[in-house]
Chain A
């Protein structure tokens, strides 16, 4: 079992890597071609090559997933570290906030956030008129929802770490709180953070595809796996095949991320197996 898990953990990033690299290579290639030469997976309703749209969309979906996962990990780590290291009122306040956010019905709220009129909150025009608005928006929204798991995990590990001898030693040498947190505690947190980020990345890619599917994430004509499926739903009676490919890609990506995270968890800390579930 462990061997299988390990193999999967190793092969998952390879699969990922291949997908990511392919998307970029093929997409440059396509710019030089006329759109109706070779269609491995056929064309969509506007005559666009499905395979290329898929790979293009994969680029966006994976980019959003990765960026949002890393940003969530950063926010979560900062919150968790502060709460775990300082304890007391800081801890109580930050953890109440985290618990409060965890206790909310996420998807309906995210839909509201995605539908907000940004000019009413005073977002600068520069960002509002940029082409990547929907990209920025979806990453922000997903991070808002995604940081809590990492924060809790980091906090509980930091709580345990700060009682250890080496922290006391650093304190007695007169190291500042900031230095202790970054230089002494943070490196010891690497493995839980990596595991949590990997597992979060899968969820984030799912969330992105759901929001894009509902028409609130990445806006067409920019393809993403989610909004390719929206398109496919409208054509479900004429071309049911269109709905198949983007979904299977999301499935493969998320399942490899989950396996990778699970494998890493087993590999890095066998005792933690049941805690994060």
Chain B
């Protein structure tokens, strides 16, 4: 177990290191030049001053050298300043991260608590009308363009009914209290939840159907257990193994969904931060927040791998060759 754990960890760290370099190089290919941007904001800048700045930030050095310099200071905890926000990158990132985690956490829990039971019900009567309806809805959930769903929600609840705000985030303190803040969360959470409920339902359903084919289910039925008991006591536990893995994987990809949702609802989270940083040539901020998104996704995958082995003792720890 320990060996498997460390080898996976090592693999994740390797991917992260490679990615940090790739993203660093990509940042260099973005439109605009960091020194030009600094000059533009300062009318008194002389050519000599610009040259001095160039020297100071080392932008003319080879890419490898610049990367290593960045890496060294990053490892010391210095990620540079955000150009758009004029504050250290981490100070900008943490509040956004907090907002995103609230958003993701809410919709993750909601999607699971709706999707898994639906999948189980559908699997308990496969190919029935009920199953067919759920399947259709799940497909609709997977196929719906997430940004369009968000737009529709805005149209119905903000434009036509006018009951919920179209975007933004309420003030954290004040007379309105918690309800005022929650109102801003409802639409983004709803759109993220609907977007992921479909795939949860499909995973759960197919895992459950697969499990119900097993011999021990027939044994359980032969013992005279009720349908419900067979389903919830015997089948569910085993069907949860692949589902847990896929769900952990999904948590990483939720980040992508959050980017769209946050951009449309103007919700001040990581996704919007990344989008604005990339669009606004804020290299330091874009670099660090992209890396952070990578870390989140990688840890999701890492957890998925670990949970897979941990939940199913039949598997050997060296499954990397058999996939």
Contacts and interface: CB of A to CB of B under 8 A. Distances in A.
A274 B206 contact: yes
Interface in B135-158: 139-140, 142-149, 151-152, 154-155
Nearest to A95: B323
A90 interface: no
B259 interface: yes
B50 interface: no
A30 interface: no
A244 B155 CA distance: 10
A113 B144 CA distance: 24
Contact of B143 (A103, A115, A117, A258): A258
Contacts of B210: 274
B311 interface: no
Interface stretch (B51-59, B76-84, B87-95, B272-280): B272-280
Interface stretch (A17-25, A67-75, A233-241): A233-241
A243 B278 contact: no
A173 B148 CA distance: 57
Interface stretch (B18-26, B40-48, B182-190): B18-26
Interface stretch (A42-50, A164-172, A247-255): A247-255
Contacts of B145: 206, 209-210, 213, 229, 247, 250-251, 254
Interface in A1-31: 1, 4
Contact of A243 (B18, B148, B203, B256): B148
A210 B146 contact: yes
A133 interface: no
Given A105-B255, A105-B293, A107-B256, A232 B278 contact: no
Interface in A134-166: 156
B132 interface: yes
B297 A103 contact: yes
Interface string B151-180: 110110001100000100000000000000
B309 interface: no
Contact of A274 (B159, B166, B207, B296): B207
A105 B15 contact: no
A202 B12 CA distance: 30
Contacts of A214: 260, 263, 275
A4 B136 CA distance: 12
Contacts of B99: none
A94 interface: no
Interface string B210-249: 1000000000000000000000000000000000001000
Contacts of A100: 15, 18
A32 interface: no
A240 B140 contact: no
B134 interface: no
A108 B29 contact: no
A40 interface: no
Contacts of B139: 255, 258-259, 262
Given A229-B151, A255-B139, 19 more contacts: A103-B297, A104-B294, A105-B255, A106-B253, A108-B290, A112-B27, A116-B31, A117-B31, A120-B29, A210-B145, A210-B260, A213-B260, A214-B260, A236-B151, A240-B159, A244-B152, A244-B155, A247-B148, A277-B246
Interface of A: 1, 4, 100, 103-109, 111-113, 115-117, 120-121, 156, 202, 206, 209-210, 213-214, 229, 232-233, 236-237, 240, 243-244, 246-247, 250-251, 254-255, 257-259, 262, 273-274, 277
30 contacts: A103-B297, A103-B301, A105-B253, A105-B256, A106-B253, A106-B256, A108-B255, A108-B271, A108-B293, A111-B259, A112-B278, A117-B32, A121-B29, A210-B147, A210-B260, A213-B147, A233-B151, A236-B151, A236-B159, A243-B148, A246-B148, A247-B144, A247-B145, A247-B152, A251-B145, A251-B148, A254-B144, A255-B139, A255-B143, A258-B139
| Chain A to chain B: the 10 pairs with minimum beta-carbon distance, closest first | A247-B148, A107-B256, A117-B31, A254-B143, A255-B143, A1-B127, A105-B293, A240-B155, A105-B297, A120-B29
